């Protein structure tokens, strides 16, 4: 019922009820926790209801600690995924919680939850983890704390990317490209000169091979979508010109207006997909630009990465893409 906006907003106006619901997060019953976390997630996403919940989070001092405990100790995939979603949307809605979510203890719990999701092989549930880390990495003080978990973050990203490379289509769906781009951007932020000197990428050729495969696949998809968009626009333009010349009845005109509306929506969706792929390409190419100089071993993988980066350089010179890894809120 809370998925209905009016019901969600009505419940959110009852401050005492909101506090009681939040106290249920201390329950030891997993099914109860899953439902409460889903409820909190839905209400935090709702722009009209969000303020009341944020106020309650502030008033209940143990709220962040409760989420930390769940992330650090739960084995329930649905609960971990829901909690990560709540953390992400709170961070996205208000910067004031960054320092609490960015503490060493919370990041440790956050990473423990992500490792549990990896063990359960629910890699799609890890999407929110990358979004959360990226938002936290934007704060310089928190970035230093994140550095303490560099190797854990890198290993998680390695497994995440390798799993994608096991698929026939290594590029994730349109809805998931933002999470992957956020993961790459976070790793870029964490790669200090000292860490690059560890020769990590010289030893880890599998990861480099995955980056090469993914970068080339993303570039191919961008070309396909751009050609498709260009073709559809040409067809729509030709159809529009013909409609102007023909004397047709009102029924036919209405039918073509509907078709035109559908085509416009398709064009917009195709543009969104292209933009998301370009953001992924930009994030991935930045990572490659940083790590390639640290690779001492000359081989086909390194050469292929350099060739793919030349393609990126040509496309970037034609126009920059605004970086927004996050799903709309």
d(CA 48, CA 275): 29
pLDDT in tens, 240-272: 555 545 544 553 344 334 233 323 433 444 568
**Which stretches of the chain are DSSP H helices?**
5-12, 15-23, 30-45, 47-59, 63-73, 77-93, 98-101, 104-119, 127-137, 140-146, 150-165, 177-190, 193-196, 200-203, 205-245, 250-291, 300-316
Whole-number pLDDT of residue 102 = 95
Tell me the range of 9-13, 132-136, 220-224 where mean pLDDT is highest.
Answer: 132-136
User: With 0-12 CB in 10 A as exposed, 13-18 as middle and 19+ as buried, what is 182?
Assistant: buried
Half-sphere exposure of 224 (CA within 13 A, CB side): 8
pLDDT band at 26 (very low <50, low <70, confident <90, very high): very high
| Residue 319 predicted with pLDDT over 80 | no
At 119 the pLDDT is 92
- Rounded to the nearest 10 degrees, what angle do helices 250-291 and 177-190 cross at? 20
Give the pLDDT confidence score for residue 81 in this predicted structure. 95
pLDDT tops 80 at residue 1 = no
Ranking 2-16, 72-86, 110-124 by mean pLDDT, the lowest is 2-16
pLDDT digits (tens, 9 = 90+) for 87-116: 999 999 888 899 999 999 999 999 999 999
Q: Report the pLDDT value the prediction gives residue 263, as an integer from 0 to 100.
A: 37
Using CB atoms within 10 Å of the CB of residue 283, give its burial: 0 to 12 exposed, 13 to 18 middle, 19+ buried: buried
pLDDT over 60 at 287, yes or no: yes
- Residue 82 and residue 84: Cα distance in Å, rounded? 5
The answer to whether residues 218 and 281 touch, using CB atoms and an 8 Å cutoff, is yes
Spatial contact of 320 and 275, defined as CB atoms under 8 Å apart? no
**Backbone phi and psi for residue 317, each to the nearest 5 degrees, phi listed first:** -70, -15
C-alpha–C-alpha distance, residues 83 and 119, integer Å:
17
- Confidence bin at 307 (pLDDT 50/70/90): confident
CA distance 173 to 161: 13
- Range with the lowest mean pLDDT among 57-71, 214-228, 232-246, 273-287? 232-246
pLDDT of amino acid 254? 42
The CA R_g of the chain, rounded to the nearest whole Å, is 23
**Range ranked top by mean pLDDT from 138-142, 249-253, 299-303:** 138-142
**What's the pLDDT at 294?**
85
pLDDT value of position 273: 83
Task: Round to whole Å and give the CA distance between 151 and 21.
Answer: 37
Sort 291 into a burial class: Cβ within 10 Å, 0-12 / 13-18 / 19+.
buried
Confidence of residue 236 (pLDDT cuts 50, 70, 90): low
212 exposure class (CB count in 10 Å sphere: 0-12, 13-18, 19+): buried
């Amino acid at each position: 019922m809370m998925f209905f906006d009016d019901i969600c907003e009505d419940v959110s106006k009852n401050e005492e009820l909101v506090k009681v619901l939040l106290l249920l997060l201390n329950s030891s019953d997993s099914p109860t926790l899953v439902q409460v976390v889903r409820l909190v997630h839905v209400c935090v996403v709702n722009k009209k209801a969000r303020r009341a919940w944020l106020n309650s989070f502030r008033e209940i001092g143990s709220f962040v600690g409760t989420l930390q405990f769940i992330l650090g100790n739960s084995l329930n995939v649905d609960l971990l995924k829901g909690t990560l979603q709540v953390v992400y949307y709170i961070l996205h809605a208000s910067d004031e919680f960054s320092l609490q979510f960015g503490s060493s203890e919370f990041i440790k719990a956050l990473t423990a939850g992500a490792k549990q999701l990896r063990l359960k092989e629910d890699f799609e549930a890890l999407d929110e983890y990358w979004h959360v880390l990226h938002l936290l990495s934007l704060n310089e003080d928190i970035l230093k704390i994140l550095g303490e978990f560099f190797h854990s973050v890198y290993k998680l990203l390695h497994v995440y990317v390798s799993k994608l490379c096991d698929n026939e289509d290594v590029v994730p769906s349109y809805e998931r490209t933002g999470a992957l781009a956020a993961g790459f951007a976070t790793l870029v932020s964490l790669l200090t000169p000292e860490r690059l000197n560890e020769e990590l990428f010289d030893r880890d050729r599998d990861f480099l091979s995955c980056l090469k495969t993914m970068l080339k696949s993303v570039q191919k998809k961008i070309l396909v979508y751009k050609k498709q968009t260009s073709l559809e626009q040409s067809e729509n333009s030709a159809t529009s010109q013909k409609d102007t010349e023909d004397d047709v009845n009102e029924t036919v005109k209405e039918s073509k207006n509907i078709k035109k509306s559908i085509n416009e929506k398709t064009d917009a969706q195709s543009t969104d997909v292209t933009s998301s792929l370009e953001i992924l390409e930009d994030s991935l190419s930045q990572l490659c630009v940083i790590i390639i100089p640290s690779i001492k071993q000359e081989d086909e993988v390194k050469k292929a990465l350099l060739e793919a980066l030349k393609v990126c350089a040509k496309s970037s010179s034609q126009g920059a893409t605004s970086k927004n890894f996050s799903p709309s809120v």
